[in-house]
Amino acid sequence: MKKGINMNKFLWGASTSGFQVEGGYNLGGKGLSTTDVRHVKEGIADTKVASDHYHHFKEDILLMKELGLKAYRFSFCWARIMPDGHHVNQEGLEFYDQIIQLCLENDIEPIPTLYHFEMPQALVDEFGGWKSRKCIDAFVEYAKFCFKEYAGEVRYWITINEPTSMAGQQYVGGTFPPAYKDQFDKCFKAEYNQNLVHARIVNAYKEAGYTGQIGIVHALQTVYPATDSKGDKHAAELKDVLENKFYLDGTLAGKYSKHTLALVKEIIDANGQQMIDIKPEDEKVLLKAAKQLDFVGVNYYFSKFMKEYHGDTEIIHNGTGEKGTDVNRMKGVGEEIHPKDLPATDWDWIIYPQGMYDQLKRVYDDYPLVHSIYITENGMGYKDKFEGEDKIIDDTPRIDYLKQHMEEVAKAIEAGIPVHGYFVWSLQDMFSWTNGYSKRYGLFYVDFKTQKRYAKKSAYWYKKLAETQEIPSID
Ligand code: BG6
């Protein structure tokens, strides 16, 4: 990546998540996930099959091997391992065992995430999901079971993927069940519970004396004020606490700062809701975990620019790829603007590579307990075009995106920030939660009719990087 930096142990990898790639939704004794029963618009996706990783995982892992990748970040579908959230399904275990074994045989580090946006629907029916402490207890038991089952094979664990994305979509944006809108109190409460369950799992892992590493993955979007005005700066702070700081404090400092809580209260008050309860005994659990956390994963895709706003909440999510349709103004927070001089994807995600560096620096500077960081997701949603078996899929804009972001990662490493790995989102094309299949991220193109994989130009480019440890130019 950069001469002079010891990249020998740097993990180059690719990421996926269970529901988005596996398919096989009712095979091998799997129970239904919350995502299986979620209403997905007719025609945009067949999530029952997805990228059929269930039947193609061997091929997918060997493709990684061909690229020279050293790590595979994937997620366990809890409902495949425990269909009802409690009792073990042997076939489900065997499925993940095969993935793990094949990775190890091919010198690829298997890095499972225990929770990536899905849990057994049975647990929601039984307890009501994350709202309930009983559900938290069930998750801790599931995690402990997995640690024991795969001890000695899995050396890196991820507890939860992006606590805030899910809570935000469930309670503020309304794009995920139970699809509430503007319920900021519930959103913070759900994040609070996820921070807590994460901490309990980290503590359980360490108490059991395992020697591997355990971390959490956060979606971090860097937030800037649109201008230097006091109002815009404050809007940026409010947005930052909603999107980043509340759960960074909870998981990386083990304590919610007074300033963080004041901003949380300001948002909740402005919406006429009730401030959440922060329990001192919970903070003890958080602190214990933060001190033992081995790494933090950063998913970085875009930055946000904020201006002061005092009207009602209006959120229009661009899930179609029709550029310029995204609207996001929140009561008690502020309004997102799209600076004209900055490029954006077709889904209105502002491309701002410097935000990667700024966010890494912030995490490292503001959270002194952090001593190891992985970029667990970075990539560009793009409308890739397949023009025939004999033509390479030219995704140069994606290469440009990856290159610019990696350069910021290299800058961070040079500045002494301990980044130890980088994972492209995603290995192959897959289902995108609110955008169906038209938003592609893969290094490999998937023809969803035949499930055939085709290397994109970016795959060859990434291969060169893994071979040379230098960021290649764009040819
Ligand atoms: C991350 C998630 O938030 O972003 C992934 O961990 C997700 O699961 C990725 O797919 C890209 O988001 P989207 O909405 O464009 O698919």
Choosing from 158, 426, 433 the residue with most ligand 1 atoms within 8 A of its CB, the one to mutate for a pocket test is: 433
In this prediction, residue 9 has a pLDDT band, given cuts at 50, 70 and 90, of: confident
C-alpha 337/C-alpha 27 separation (Å) is 45
Query: What's the pLDDT tens digit per position in 347-390?
Result: 999 999 999 999 999 999 999 999 999 999 999 999 999 999 99
The pick from 75, 377, 398, 429 for probing ligand 1's pocket by mutation, whose C-beta has the most ligand atoms within 8 angstroms, reads 377
Distances (CA, A) of 263 to 207, 238, 243, 366: 34, 6, 12, 17
22, 162, 243, 408: the active-site residue? 162
Residue 5 has pLDDT above 60, yes or no: no
- Cβ–ligand 1 contact at 438 (below 6 Å): no
Cα(239) to centroid of ligand 1, in Å? Answer: 20
Q: Is the CB of residue 381 below 6 angstroms from any atom belonging to ligand 1?
A: yes
Going 375 to 143 to 121 to 447, the CA torsion angle's sign is: positive
Are 269 and 275 in contact by the 8 Å Cβ rule? The answer is yes
162 given a catalytic annotation: yes
> Which protein residue has the closest C-alpha to ligand 1 atom 8?
17
Distance between CA atoms of 344 and 280, rounded to whole angstroms? 42
Secondary structure class of 469 (helix, strand, coil): coil
Quote the CA–CA distance of 357 and 370 in Å, as a whole number: 16
- The closest residue, in CA terms, to atom 13 on ligand 1 is 432
Q: What is the pLDDT of residue 40?
A: 61
The stretch 414-418 carries a mean pLDDT of 96
Q: Which atom of ligand 1 is nearest to the CA of 117?
A: 8
pLDDT recorded at residue 105 = 98
CB atoms within 10 A of CB 416: 8
Pairing mode of beta strands 314-316, 327-330: antiparallel
Find the range with the poorest average confidence among 127-131, 290-294, 312-316, 331-335: 127-131
Residue among 351, 425, 437 whose CB has most ligand 1 atoms within 8 A, to mutate: 425
Q: What is the pTM of this model?
A: 0.96
Residue 463 CA to ligand 1 centre (angstroms): 23
Residue 109 CB burial class (10 angstroms; 0-12, 13-18, ≥19): middle
By percentage, how much of the chain surpasses pLDDT 90?
87
* Mean pLDDT within 4-32: 88
CB 119, CB 129: distance < 8 Å:
yes
Q: Ligand 1 centroid vs 209 CA: distance in angstroms?
A: 33
Q: Is the CB of 56 under 6 A from ligand 1?
A: no
Characterize the bridge pairing of strands 334-337 and 327-330. Answer: antiparallel
Tokens standing for 385? 């075009």
Is 378 strand, coil or helix?
Answer: coil
Q: Which two tokens stand for residue 240?
A: 């930052």
Q: Is the Cβ atom of 161 under 6 angstroms away from ligand 1?
A: yes
Residue 440's pLDDT band (cuts 50, 70, 90): very high
| Tokens (6 digits) for 393 | 């899929």
As a whole number, mean pLDDT of residues 102-110 equals: 98
Would residue 149 show up in a list of annotated catalytic residues for this protein? no
Q: 248-276 burial, b for 16+ CB within 10 Å, e for fewer?
A: bbbbbbbebeeebbebbebbbebbebeeb
pLDDT of 250: 98
Q: Is the pLDDT of residue 178 over 90?
A: no
Q: What is the pLDDT of residue 293?
A: 98
Q: Which residue has the higher pLDDT, 166 or 106?
A: 106
Whether residue 27 is predicted with pLDDT greater than 90 in this model: the reply is yes
